[in-house]
Amino acid sequence: MEEAKILLVDDEQDILDILSFNLIKNKFSVATACNGEQAIEKAKEFKPDLIVLDIMMPKKNGIETCKEIRKIPELKDTAVIFLTAMVDEDSEIHGLDVGADDYIPKPIKPKLFISKVNATLRRLTNREARIVFEDLEINRVKFTVSHKGAEINLPRKEFELFALLASEPGRVFLRQEILDKVWGTEVIVGDRTIDVHVRKIRKKLDADFIKTVKGVGYKFEH
């Protein structure tokens, strides 16, 4: 799984620094912006999984920014968390109703911050459902494989076989193991069946991600 990308937006450099530090320490990929307008620009290019947005900012406040972000199709699946110094109940409500996923009260406690970030990303789901390489994505939710931009539809067995191999790149799967995991232990099919499926996958992807390990099994290599 690739690292989650997070965009931090706050007008106080101190806050950006401390949050960046904590996020990076936790293996997140971070970008920052210091006002709402910049946030929208950066969000479009950086395509973060999560945006942490201060509510009170010059140029464009967090609420407005969030509203705009929600209108951008490519950012539809991006989560938004507000940072707020206001203890005012109404502003919390306002934030949630505007399409935010959570909010974090200032002063920020780093542990809580990281925990909320994790919880929000987890909820966002499907991070585990995707296997991503540079030019190849296997999406278990969409049941699709895209290679160099082209979306390829593999039939069920082929997809399962490919997804299995790709789930642990480099590892060799024994034939028996493949049979067990893709076909199940009850069904009995001949060994040639695997070959045929491998062949079909290779042909459809037009690239040899699947390597034969003679006498042993197959492995995925990128």
Partner DNA sequence: CTCCTATATTATCAAATTATTAAGCCTACT
Partner DNA sequence: AGTAGGCTTAATAATTTGATAATATAGGAG
Residues that bind a second copy in the complex, under the rule CB under 8 A: 89-90, 92-93, 96-97, 100-102, 109, 111-112, 115-116, 118-119, 123, 139, 141-144, 153, 155-156, 170-172, 213-216, 219
Query: Phi, psi at residue 165, to the nearest 5°?
Result: -60, -40
One of 43, 50, 198, 205 touching DNA (CB under 7 A): 198
CB-wise, 33 or 154, nearer to DNA? 154
Q: Is 24:30 a contact under the CB 8 Å cutoff? A: yes
Considering the rule CB under 7 A, would residue 207 count as an interface residue with DNA?
no
Helix, strand, coil tally for the chain in percent (to 5)? 45, 25, 35
In contact, 42 and 71? CB cutoff 8 Å: no
Q: For the CB of residue 26, give the shortest distance to DNA in the complex, in Å.
A: 26
Distance, in Å, from the CA atom of 72 to the CA atom of 76, rounded to the nearest integer, reads 6
H or E segment and range at residue 114: helix 110-124
Place of tokens 């909010």: 103
The number of residues that bind DNA (CB under 7 A) is 26
Give residues with Cβ within 8 angstroms of 159, minimum separation 6: 143, 145
Is residue 1 close enough to count as binding DNA by CB under 7 A? no
- Candidates 52-60, 75-83, 89-97, 148-156; binding stretch for DNA (CB under 7 A): 148-156
Instruction: Name the binder of 119 from DNA, a second copy, none, CB < 5-8 A by kind.
Output: a second copy
Q: Which does 89 bind (CB under 5 to 8 A by kind): DNA, a second copy, none?
A: a second copy
Report d(CA 127, CA 119) in Å as an integer.
Answer: 13
The yes or no reply on residue 202 touching DNA (CB under 7 A) is yes
Write out the residues near DNA by the rule CB under 7 A: 153, 155-158, 175, 183, 187-193, 195-199, 202, 212-217
